[in-house]
Amino acid sequence: MELSEQNVKKQRPVHLDLQTIRFPATAIASILHRVSGVIMLFAVGILLWLLNASLQSAESFNQVQTLLDGFVVKFILWGILTVLGYHLLGGLRHLVMDTGRWEELASGKASANAIFVLAIVLSVLAGVWIW
């Protein structure tokens, strides 16, 4: 039974309501892995700037140390560590998937959910360590 061109056109959605589309956990994990990689690109710039400033002189080191005591900078560093932790876990998940494991629907969903839980744990630990 062949589908005619008209039948195919009738089956296509006329309007996609993006607010009602629910992505599976595996898609969310993959998208967040990519987003965290982009955020880390900018985070490296911030961290290199702080490192450069701290190495210029003893006075600039003290200024960076004072800067690191502020709430906003601690929050930014916590965010960077959180993104780094998630990206690391997501990368390890993708490496395991490259070996042919966790590619089935159930195991892929379980590994994505495990990454979410582990990332939250790492985020809390990073917050405790910073503050």
pLDDT per position as a tens digit, 4-26: 555 556 677 667 777 888 889 99
Architecture of the 25-43+69-130 domain: Up-down Bundle (1.20)
pLDDT of residue 115: 97
pLDDT of 58 higher than 80 = yes
- Quote the pLDDT of residue 75: 96
At 66-96, the pLDDT tens digits run 999 999 999 999 999 999 999 999 999 999 9
Residue spans of the domains in the chain: they are 25-43+69-130
Q: How many other β-carbons are positioned within 10 Å of the β-carbon of residue 18?
A: 6
Helix 71-98 × helix 25-56 angle, to 10°: 130
> Looking at residue 7, what is its pLDDT?
58
Helix residue spans in the chain (DSSP H): 5-11, 25-56, 58-67, 71-98, 105-130
Residues whose CB falls within 8 Å of the CB of residue 118, separated by 6 or more in sequence, listed in order: 89
Q: Read off the pTM.
A: 0.81
